């Protein structure tokens, strides 16, 4: 019984270590960052569509998340992270790193500008999302592989 418990503990510890290591990989970190950006854009979308009431605090938080997250996002594409962990990053990123970074910076700047003006109603959030959405697709079209 005691040995079993020890083995179980060791197995669990092993799992824990594996999980932490995988979560620290650049592929996982950047996917996590994009997930945050996706959630923030989703919150704005809910307001723009009228599914959620306009809430200045949520708009502010979402735009802040997008502008902050996308600033660090391009730092997580070191050589050697081109594949693995089901990354959807296109190999083109490493061939055009400057352009990739410029596209990230554009989204960051647009989100900051919108934050400074802060859309004040549903229509304003919709217009903001139109601007941001173009930035998302302009990068995804060039640099995100479709895994359907
Ligand atoms: C500078 C380029 C760039 C911009 C701008 C960008 N993305 Fe991404 N996005 C990527 C790349 C590259 C991936 C794939 C990352 C990977 O799998 O390693 C990705 C993946 C994602 C994912 C999937 C995350 C997951 O679960 O793995 C979502 C959701 C997403 N992006 C949403 C957005 C939204 C919403 C915007 C605009 C507000 C946006 N992205 C703007 C490059 C970008």
26-52 pLDDT, tens digit per residue, is 999 999 999 999 999 999 999 999 999
Q: What's residue 33's pLDDT? A: 97
Provide the terminal-to-terminal Cα distance of the chain, rounded to the nearest Å: 47
Q: Quick check: CB of 34 below 6 Å from ligand 1?
A: yes
Tell me, using a 6 A CB cutoff, whether residue 114 lines ligand 1: no
Nearest-5° Cα angle at 29, 68 to 18: 150
Q: What is the C-alpha separation between 83 and 73, in angstroms, rounded?
A: 17
**Is pLDDT above 80 for 25?**
yes
Assign residue 84 a region: left if phi > 0, alpha if psi is -120 to 50, beta otherwise?
Answer: left
143 close to ligand 1 (CB < 6 Angstrom): yes
Q: Is the CB of residue 125 below 6 angstroms from any atom belonging to ligand 1?
A: no
Closest to 145 in 3D by CA, of 85, 77, 86, 79: 86
Span from the CA of 80 to the centroid of ligand 1 (angstroms): 19
* pLDDT for residue 145 is more than 80: yes
């Amino acid at each position: 019984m005691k040995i079993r418990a020890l083995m179980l503990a060791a197995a669990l510890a092993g799992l824990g270590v594996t999980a932490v290591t995988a979560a620290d990989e650049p592929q996982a970190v950047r996917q996590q960052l994009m997930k945050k950006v996706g959630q923030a854009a989703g919150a704005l979308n809910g307001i723009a569509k009228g599914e959620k009431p306009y809430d200045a605090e949520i708009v502010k938080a979402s735009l802040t998340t997008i502008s902050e997250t996308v600033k660090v996002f391009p730092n997580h594409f070191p050589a050697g992270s081109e594949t693995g962990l089901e990354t959807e990053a296109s190999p083109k990123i490493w061939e055009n790193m400057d352009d990739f970074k410029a596209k990230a910076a554009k989204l960051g700047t647009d989100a900051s500008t919108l934050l400074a003006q802060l859309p004040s109603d549903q229509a304003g959030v919709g217009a903001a999302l139109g601007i941001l959405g173009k930035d998302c697709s302009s990068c995804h079209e060039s640099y995100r592989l479709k895994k359907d």
